[in-house]
Amino acid sequence: MLDAGGKGPRTTSVEARPRHLAGHDSGDGNSGIRSTGAEMEKNPAALDAEGAQLVIIATLRAWIGSKAQPKWEISVNGKATMEPRDRGGTCQISMNRRLFLKGVAGTAAASTATTAWASRLADRRNSPIAELYQSLSVRQRGDVCFDWDHRVNIKYGRKPLTIPDPKGVLLRTHVSNAWLITPHMLADDFYTEEQRGLVVDVLDSVLSPGWTQKIMRQATDDSGKPWGELQSLAFFGSPESGRCLCVVTGFHLTLRATYGLVSAAAFDGPISHGHQPSGFYEKVGHPGNLFWHQALLANLVYQGLDRKHRQQALVRTGMPYYQSGGEIDRSNVLPDDPWDLSREADIRFRGPKRQLPGMPVSGMATEQQRAVAQLLEGLVEPYQQRYRDQVYDCLQKQGGLEKCSLAFYNEHDMGLDEEWDNWRLEGPSFVWYFRGSPHVHIWIHVANGSSAPMTSYFG
């Protein structure tokens, strides 16, 4: 059991940014009761007023009950040694000790469940995902809206992905570092100005305040083109069905926004980010990179390890990479592929029986375990609380951080300075892979079980 190291949540307050209006120019980077829950699970779209009242009552009861039993919190109130260069928005993070390390007790789980139902109800009433979906014309829906289980014969560079193939892969759970899920760019005349503004609102519903502008800046940094010219989207399911997923893709981006019931995976599937502000071969230290502060937090863990544990954490060979034999490997990663994990895009789960690379968190000293908890806090900081909670819940179900390992890769150390550019936090059904060389790619796949579907390729 890890020591909490203090009580009380950390709150970091900075100026919150205003909500984008529907007419936003996309090219401008500035611009209760358990029975009720079960019934919603069966037919979430049919929740009536009485059901809503039950959810609210159950939530209030859970909230009142929680006041009688204060929770242990992981405190990170000390000054952060490494902070992102340009943090925007408001970040309030409370880390429950048992949630991360051993799992919450049954009463706390019931409280979380009832609160989640109320949150989902609010999402239905005020969802930019539903608003954007409803704004689409018949022609637009024909091009960018798909059934929940839409399958395609996907391959790098193959178009279109609209042609169904019952033997193909599940398109909504595919991920790449660079791809277009549909052929219409967000900046095209295919979309109206109002719809482009709603896309920004959809991003705001997933990303923490300030991060939508950062993702737009990343798009321009990496391609030289304004946001929207190399990004596309697709919908799976529909708001009327009670489950709907909006997937936004582009260069260095796969992002998901969920509506209604979510699947076994956080974000409803794997996501990815990237950034190369100083070029394809980034400068040592990754100046201006939006995500490098996360690597600095990971390196703090390494620096705090003793010599024996550093040796265990450092993986000398076999780093998952985008090249094989000097050639870029763009082959599909499929569920039944042989298990070698040499491909960068392979973020399949190892499950509870396969050995994880690196240093087990359970074997670290208390101070380093706290540093891993701080690292996780930094990893989820770009996302809204409901998505952080999805990550936390999935992690809880597999045993918490104590079931994870942290690996640092000796290969492709850009500065030969042992400030590790490449590292991976991994659990039985948790993969957060930070590939920092030659520039930053981040591959994220988190679920509550190792059977969650996923396919990928390097784009």
CA 422, CA 426: separation in Å to the nearest integer?
A: 13
Those residues whose C-beta lies under 8 Å from the C-beta of residue 344, and which sit 6 or more positions away, are: 320, 321, 322, 329, 433, 435, 441, 443, 458
Render pLDDT for 247-277 as a digit per residue (tens, 0 to 9). 999 999 999 999 987 678 999 999 999 999 9
CA 2, CA 297: separation in Å to the nearest integer?
A: 19
pLDDT of the residue at 74: 32
Q: How many domains does the chain have?
A: 1
Tokens matching residue 211:
């991060």
Residue range of the domain that includes 28? 1-459
Render pLDDT for 378-412 as a digit per residue (tens, 0 to 9). 999 999 999 999 999 999 999 999 999 999 999 99
CA 2, CA 97: separation in Å to the nearest integer?
A: 8
pLDDT of the residue at 36: 33
pLDDT of the residue at 159: 63
- For 180, 224, 259, the CA distances from 196, given in Å and listed in that order, are 17, 20, 19
Render pLDDT for 140-170 as a digit per residue (tens, 0 to 9). 999 999 999 999 988 887 665 777 888 899 9
pLDDT of the residue at 126: 57
**Cβ atoms of residues 216 and 199 within 8 Å:** no
- Rounded to two decimals, the pTM is 0.75
pLDDT of the residue at 281: 97
Q: What is the DSSP string of 95-140?
A: -BHHHHHT---HHHHHHHHHHHHHHHHHHHHT-HHHHHHHH--HHH
By DSSP bridging, strand 422-427 and strand 405-409 are antiparallel
End-to-end CA distance of the chain: 41
Percent of the chain whose pLDDT exceeds 70: 71
CA 373, CA 214: separation in Å to the nearest integer?
A: 24
Which ranges of the chain have pLDDT less than 50? 1-125
